[in-house]
């Protein structure tokens, strides 16, 4: 049995650039890509906290240490600099892989500085 699971999440990233005329993609600081385990050219989902837009694109490597999150091409209509977004990558896992499965969750502060990491989302209480 295969199951699609959340592989990685960059939570509350701030869009730094929106480049309409750039080839479609999302440039992410290379250090954030490495920390999250998101691969260059991997499909990602982006959820815009500020305007509710949800869209699919792919990750490309941004300058190391730049804290860049650049939404490019047609997706630039869906996010503007300053917007808070959640970037997620999903992957398929076998039953055997799920025994020890843990996603990489990266929580970002203003300026896209890492404020924490986890491998579990806290239980939501009523």
Known binding-site residue numbers for substrate: 57, 73-75
- Alpha carbons 37 and 47: distance in angstroms, whole number: 18
Catalytic residue among 58, 90, 93, 107: 58
66 in active site: no
The structure tokens listed for 74 are 């047609």
22 in active site: no
Q: Where are the alpha helices (DSSP H) in 1-125?
A: 30-36, 95-98
CB 32 within 8 A of CB 85: no
Enumerate the known binding-site residues: 57, 73-75
* Biggest CA pair distance of the chain: 45
Catalytic residues: 25, 58
């Amino acid at each position: 049995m295969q199951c699609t699971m959340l592989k990685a999440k960059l939570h509350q990233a701030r869009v730094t650039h929106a480049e309409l005329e750039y080839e479609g993609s999302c440039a992410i600081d290379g250090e954030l890509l490495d920390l999250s385990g998101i691969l260059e050219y991997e499909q990602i989902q982006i959820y815009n906290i500020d305007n509710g837009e949800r869209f699919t694109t792919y990750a490309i490597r941004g300058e190391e240490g730049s804290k860049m999150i650049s939404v490019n091409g047609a997706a630039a209509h869906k996010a503007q600099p300053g917007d808070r977004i959640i970037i997620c990558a999903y992957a398929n896992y076998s039953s055997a892989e799920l025994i020890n499965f843990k996603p990489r969750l990266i929580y970002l502060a203003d300026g896209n500085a890492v404020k924490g990491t986890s491998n579990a989302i806290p239980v939501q209480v009523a």
